[in-house]
Amino acid sequence: MSDSSIPAYADTRKIFQQEDVISGNLGLNRLPRFSKILANDQGLVSLELKFTFGEAKERLITGSLQAQVNVFCQRCLKPLAIAVADDIILALVRDEEAALRLDAKLDPWICEDHKLDLAELIEEQLILCTPIVSYHESGDCMTQKDYVAGEDATESIASESPFAVLRSLKDSDTSD
């Protein structure tokens, strides 16, 4: 699960000319902002990015990403494994102004110099495609259920115990 196949940066002067394809895995250690919304650092991100020119000579970044990560279940607050996946269709632009001139179908990715930060790009796409709230399948929040059941049990024992005491007293009376 080496992430060495994904370089830190791509040179935007070369990758589109060469129609480069970059694919491989990225460790969560290289995605600090994404990692912050996760329950732990266990996970795997795999991706493929293609760099091409569009019909209007836009610099297109297309591809896909998949990730297996752990988020917090919002019901029981325990880790929950989820799979996220997304297609990537971005147009690389130099600034906000160029972004405004893009075809509405294309989302801009602004890179002001020649160094395209690949992890940053992937990280942003991952954050966008990860659901804001996730829950275990209904009935799978074991810890939460156990906790509630335990609480109920304690309550019922507490409320029943005076009668149990009375009953045992009564029993001992009648046995006399």
Residues that bind Zn ion (CB under 5 A): 73, 75-76, 136, 141
Q: What residues does 108 pair with on adjacent strands?
A: 91
Minimum CB distance to Zn ion smaller for 77 or for 128: 77
Cβ 31 to Zn ion shortest distance, Å:
24
Cβ 132 to Zn ion shortest distance, Å:
16
C-alpha closest to that of 98 among 117, 119, 112, 115: 112
Minimum CB distance to Zn ion smaller for 73 or for 93: 73
Cβ 140 to Zn ion shortest distance, Å:
6
Identify the three-state secondary structure at position 104: coil
Cβ 76 to Zn ion shortest distance, Å:
3
Q: How many helices (DSSP H) and strands (DSSP E) are in the chain?
A: 5, 7
Minimum CB distance to Zn ion smaller for 97 or for 137: 137
Cβ neighbours of 111 (radius 10 Å): 20
8 Å CB contact between 62 and 22: no
Cβ 71 to Zn ion shortest distance, Å:
10
C-alpha closest to that of 72 among 144, 128, 147: 144
Minimum CB distance to Zn ion smaller for 56 or for 77: 77
Minimum CB distance to Zn ion smaller for 75 or for 94: 75
Cβ neighbours of 78 (radius 10 Å): 15
